[in-house]
Amino acid sequence: MNVWDNEFAISIMPALLKGFWLTIQITFVSFAISLAVGLLVAIVRFLKIPVVSKLFDFYVSFVRGTPLLVQAYIAFFVLPLWGMGFDALPTGIVVLGINYSAYCAEVYRSGIEQVPTGQWEASRALSLPPARTWFRIVVPQAVRPIVPVMGNYLIMMFKDSAILSSITILELMGTSLQIGGNYYMYLEPMTIAGLLYLAISFPSSLLIRRLERRLVPAY
């Protein structure tokens, strides 16, 4: 008996590639959200504003302390009960972005802490306004050494986006599950899906390792 059905594999390729393309789009939009929200969270926590910074501390603990799958279920199946229902795709993108923003905030923090005190003091001695100090002096220097770590998070997010299949999004994993369920044939769609994930994540991780060598011993 033939285990692998080549014709079947070829016939499902268009659907899988469509899902693959959606996975890539989800990853980039979610990652942009987590980079922006994470930076905001990191700065607010760093400023130690009474109450507000504590709330953001809680935000990070909460998001990091609960599984992405649970967060996705709550956002998609529970929030609508409270009148906050959105389509699956935007919900999934936001959940993934929020989830990773907590991790990004921690990475930003380590980057910010690496900026020498002298940089803050020079900014102050020149009377640079706080916003200018943050975005022209501190953040550009904080980001450089953390680019490789952020790159690894991007790859992890790319793979974690598969969890969004559980809230009916037909990205690569969702599409594979649907094909598998319809034909009772899981081998081909799952194998191809795995290879497609690998085709992106493996070269990317090599690229990040090279970046690491170039960026980290800065200045």
CB of 125 to other proteins, least distance (A): 4
Q: Examine residue 83 and tell whether it contacts other proteins (CB under 8 A).
A: no
**132 or 209: CB nearest other proteins:** 132
Is the Cα torsion angle 146, 148, 151, 152 positive or negative in sign?
Answer: negative
Q: Considering only residues 49, 74, 126, 199, which one is a binding residue for other proteins as defined by CB under 8 A?
A: 126
**64 or 124: CB nearest other proteins:** 124
Q: Examine residue 219 and tell whether it contacts other proteins (CB under 8 A).
A: yes
**139 or 173: CB nearest other proteins:** 139
Report angle CA 177, 180, 183 to the nearest 5 degrees: 145
**4 or 219: CB nearest other proteins:** 219
CA contacts within 13 A on the Cβ side of 140: 8
CA contacts within 13 A on the Cβ side of 149: 17
Q: What is the footprint of other proteins within residues 102-121 (CB under 8 A)? A: 116, 118-119, 121
For residue 59, what is the DSSP state? H
Q: Considering only residues 7, 125, 184, 213, which one is a binding residue for other proteins as defined by CB under 8 A?
A: 125
Radius of gyration of the chain from its Cα atoms, rounded to whole angstroms:
21
Q: Examine residue 144 and tell whether it contacts other proteins (CB under 8 A).
A: yes
Interacting residues of 63 by C-beta distance below 8 A, sequence separation 6+: 71, 98, 99, 101, 102
Q: Which two tokens stand for residue 23?
A: 């996975």
Q: Examine residue 181 and tell whether it contacts other proteins (CB under 8 A).
A: no
Q: Which two tokens stand for residue 117?
A: 């005190």
**132 or 214: CB nearest other proteins:** 132
Residues contributing to the site for other proteins (CB under 8 A): 116, 118-119, 121-122, 124-129, 132, 136-137, 140-141, 144, 218-219
